Amino acid sequence: MGEKVEELEYQSGFGNHFSSEAIAGALPHGQNSPLVCPYGLYAEQISGTSFTSPRKLNQRSWLYRIKPSVTHEPFKPRVPAHEKLVSEFDGSNSRTNPTQLRWRPVDIPDSPTDFVDGLFTICGAGSSFLRHGFAIHMYAANKGMEDCALCNADGDFLLVPQSGRLWIETECGRLLVSPGEIAVIPQGFRFSIGLPDGKSRGYVAEVFGTHFQLPDLGPIGANGLAAARDFLAPTAWFEDGLRPSYTIIQKFGGELFTAKQDFSPFNVVAWHGNYVPYKYGLQKFCPYNTVLIDHGDPSINTVLTAPTDKPGVALLDFVIFPPRWLVAEHTFRPPYYHRNCMSEFMGLIYGSYEAKVGGFVPGGASLHNCMTPHGPDTTTYEATIARANEMVPSKITDTMAFMFESSLIPRVCNWALESPVLDHDYYQCWIGLKSHFSRLGIDDEVTDDGVHKQGKAL
């Protein structure tokens, strides 16, 4: 059975300094940590950047809560351990692989499985301890988290539900996230996920040592792509009273630890700051595209980026391929064949992807690693070429594909390479590509032994 959900109010904007109070007058005025806060609340700050980060990059929020988050028993390793969650990609749990890889959708388990137990890592690079890298996970769950909350000390989570809504309780308030929307839970926030539809499946990107932000627009100018106003932050909401036993699950270095406490962590009555969970509806994205000839780079579809210190090079970009018009003339409109210094992990939320006709389905995934060639399958290529003389404006509809793109080379987890949903025949989608090379107009010579010699153009 699904869980009942209620209408929620949100605050609009990306990177704004928000303030919200569930009880009027709960926010202190004049200073952040007065000797006695209104209503006897505790003041607590959560910092997403170093204290001395430049002002324009500094992220932190003040929370005013009934009891502080420090009030819990010592952390202990979670039993049983989660053996398919990784934040250290050192080769002991994962392997390099340049082959084009594709996975079919995983089945949602029959046995009771919440978001934490249904989360598993596909690939990643770097180290959460070294504060540089990323991990890509998927999840499949059939029940909400009960009397427990997850806190990711390793990095930000970007959640992309593909099937089934997510009811996310956070310390700043609640988010209802449907397929076609995304949510970001910044590093360190405690959150719990319920499943209003009873089951859910989707994708998760995690970044270490940095945070997601809106990409610079460059020559595009002031408008386009994802607008700051369309990102929604929660409003303050809190739970009061004691709980017989509440569990905090801490993700730390890819391992899970648990601590017991006697109250809900969602006891924040008021808060203010610019370090908050948020959500975004992908249908609000304003795509840009070529309007005469040739094919735009996928970077023009970037929703969020987690940058590195090198300008223009991303630790991880979140890129979407939404419904849009195709109008380029004398142009091969599907994605062209290419090799890329970036590594590309793709998923499909709904519909079909324009470059893959059959094998890439909603809930599935593919990985084309650094400099591994890829592009449209044989069927797509042949169908496109056959319509070369009928090139008219056309619209891609009813689709939402996405890509996690990184400058790092991910290792693939052992279980992902050994998974029963790994498509071992993926390479076959290109094997049928044939030569269309024509020597018409060339003065050729064929020797007696059948060897072709190219002559001069007539």
Give the CA angle between residues 244, 175, 77 to the nearest 5°: 45
Collapsing DSSP to helix, strand or coil, 41 comes out as: coil
Q: Which amino acid is at 358?
A: G
Strands in 18-21's sheet, in edge-to-edge order, are 18-21, 268-273, 60-65, 42-47
Q: Which is catalytic among the residues 137, 206, 374, 405?
A: 374
Q: Record the tokens describing residue 20, joined without a space.
A: 């919200």
| Domains recognised in the chain with CATH numbers | 73-265+274-282 (2.60.120.10), 284-431 (2.60.120.10)
Q: pLDDT value at position 458?
A: 37
What confidence tens digit (pLDDT) does each residue in 381-394 have? 998 888 888 788 98
Catalytic choice (72, 211, 272, 368): 368
- Rounded to whole angstroms, how far apart are CA atoms 403 and 405? 6
What pLDDT does residue 440 have? 73
CA distance linking residue 424 with residue 409, whole number of Å: 21
Q: Residue 295 catalytic?
A: yes
Q: What 3-state class would DSSP assign to 346? A: strand
Pairing of strands 173-177, 132-141: unpaired
344 is catalytic: yes
199, 211, 259, 253: which is closest to 85 by C-alpha? 253
Residues 271 and 19 sit within 8 Å (Cβ to Cβ): yes
317 sits in which H/E element: strand 314-321
pLDDT for residue 241: 84
User: Which candidate in 21, 44, 344, 354 is catalytic?
Assistant: 344
Residue of 132, 255, 338, 382 with catalytic role: 338
Residue of 295, 390, 405, 436 marked active site: 295
User: What is the C-alpha to C-alpha distance for residues 161 and 165, in angstroms, rounded to an integer?
Assistant: 7
Q: What is the pLDDT along the chain (458 residues), one digit of tens a residue?
A: 456 677 899 999 999 999 999 999 999 999 999 999 999 999 999 999 999 999 999 999 999 999 999 999 999 999 999 999 999 998 889 999 999 999 999 999 999 999 999 999 999 999 999 999 999 999 999 999 999 999 999 999 999 999 999 999 999 999 999 999 999 999 999 999 999 999 999 999 999 999 999 999 999 999 999 999 999 999 999 999 888 899 999 999 999 999 999 999 999 999 999 999 999 999 999 999 999 999 888 899 999 999 999 999 999 999 999 999 999 998 988 889 999 999 999 999 999 998 887 889 999 999 999 999 999 999 999 988 888 887 889 899 999 999 999 999 999 999 999 999 999 999 999 999 999 898 776 655 555 555 555 544 43
DSSP calls for 84-150: T--SB-SSSSEE---S-EEEPPPPPPSS---TTTTEEEEEEEEETTTTEEEEEEEEEESS---SEEE
For residue 150, what are the β-bridge partners?
A: 191, 249
Cα–Cα nearest to 194, from 171, 164, 239, 163: 164
